Amino acid sequence: MKLLPAALGLVLLLLLVLNPNGVEARPAPAGGHQKKSSSNTFFVFGDDFSDNGNLPLTDPVTKMSRRWAYPYGSVYTDAHGFPRPNTPSGRFSNYKIQSDFIATMLGLEEAPPAHALTADKTCDPSGMTFAYGGAGVLESTSHGVHTLRKQVDAFRKMVKDGTISEKQLSHSVALVAISGNDYASTGVIGLSNPSDITAYIGKVTEEIAANVEQLLKLGVKKVLVNNLHPIGRTPSQTRTNNYTACDILEIWVHQFTTIT
């Protein structure tokens, strides 16, 4: 009878050896930036739809830094499916954002690290996020954060000084997620003449196109550009009429998509 524990141990060992598929090993949860093996490099530009940490935390928390506090990030999971509850990551979401989903399509685990959270003269193998929440194309509508042009300028400097390598550029994809701050902000207040509205929209779209051209000249192979979502239907815009009707921004969205 004294041999029974040893015999049971031997049986269990044999079961493990003969049935390796019955054993599951999962890595421990990690708060660091983990990536899949992928040849793609992803560079992200834009606004709230794609910023994952460039806007800093402030004390007290303000409208622009609120995504560093609960409930933002409250249901985010890491690359292995482990929850990171109540761990805001600088995203304007309680879960993932647009750039995270596109990164997954490219074989990465999540959007590349934020430029502001990366050491000088370094670029993550997965790429970099230059987007700032609240950003637009025009200085007057960018809430004091980096406009699209300033984001592209930061990228250009890193290409020119070799921080971003030719190898990274050779398999690169860029996302330009400019999603309406130029229309939802003060830049459109007072514009009622159709020709003025058309001219304003043309100014925005021309600036987006110029920055896309700059990215291509710098060596980016593919550039994705967002169309506008129906910003006239967002809660912030329909609140004034008790969420019962779309506002005039809906008309401008249609004109924007027609021009682009």
* Per-residue model confidence as pLDDT tens digits over 204-214: 999 999 999 99
- For residue 203, pLDDT over 70 is answered with yes
Is 27 within the bounds of a domain? no
* Residues contacting 229, CB < 8 A, separation 6+: 179, 180, 253
Is 233 within the bounds of a domain? no
Is 16 within the bounds of a domain? no
* Per-residue model confidence as pLDDT tens digits over 39-49: 999 999 999 89
- For residue 12, pLDDT over 90 is answered with no
Structure tokens at 199: 């001219």
* Per-residue model confidence as pLDDT tens digits over 149-192: 999 999 999 999 999 999 999 999 999 999 888 877 655 556 66
* Per-residue model confidence as pLDDT tens digits over 59-117: 787 777 776 777 677 777 666 666 666 677 788 888 889 999 999 999 999 999 999 99
Is 17 within the bounds of a domain? no
Question: What is the overall mean pLDDT for the chain?
Answer: 77
Is 20 within the bounds of a domain? no
Domain count for the chain, please give it: 1
* Boundaries of domain holding 164: 36-226
Is 254 within the bounds of a domain? no
